[in-house]
Amino acid sequence: MFFNRIPLPYWMSDSYWAVVLVQTGFQTGFCVFVRANFMRTLPQEILEAAIVDGAGVWTQYWRVTLPLCRPALAALGTLQFTWMYNDFLWALVFISDGDKPPVTSALNNLRGQFFTDYNLLAAGSVIVALPTLVVFLLLQRHFIAGLTLGSIKG
């Protein structure tokens, strides 16, 4: 077939760079949108107090704004890790070499042409899901706080 592969530069074909660039391009807009909206909810009085204390722009960001954004960063980190780790399409499109696909795309190789061992596929799916569960359990407190923070106007 004529359109069976996407023509890529030689340094991107069958490498992780294509997947990384596509994921970065698609997810950057969402992350900027969420962080910008969260930062708009921060009280201006805190930043004004930092200015009165003599803090510059970078000091305000690193010592005042960024620590207050911990719930939003934890929620974004959890969501982004889950979305990128479980992504199947872009790895399938850009990586055709048999030993390079990510674990979620390699899970597809457990299926046979004429027979599928569903016990093996279910066990592999549980093992593949464990890192996502670990990340969620580690960031659960901050994740819940980040999701519920903008729910009440006050």
| pLDDT tens readout for residues 119-152 | 988 998 899 889 989 988 888 877 676 666 555 5
CB 12 within 8 A of CB 100: no
| pLDDT tens readout for residues 55-73 | 899 999 999 999 888 888 8
**Answer CATH for 16-151 from 3.40.50.1240, 3.30.200.20, 3.40.190.170, 1.10.3720.10:** 1.10.3720.10
Other beta carbons less than 10 A from residue 21's beta carbon: 13
Query: Rounded distance, CA 15 to CA 7, Å?
Result: 13
Compute CA distances 8 → 19, 53, 87, 124, 153, whole Å. Answer: 12, 53, 20, 31, 48
Q: What is this structure's pTM?
A: 0.73
Other beta carbons less than 10 A from residue 25's beta carbon: 9
Q: Where are the domains of the chain?
A: 16-151
- Does residue 111 surpass a pLDDT of 50? yes
Record the tokens describing residue 90, joined without a space.
């872009």
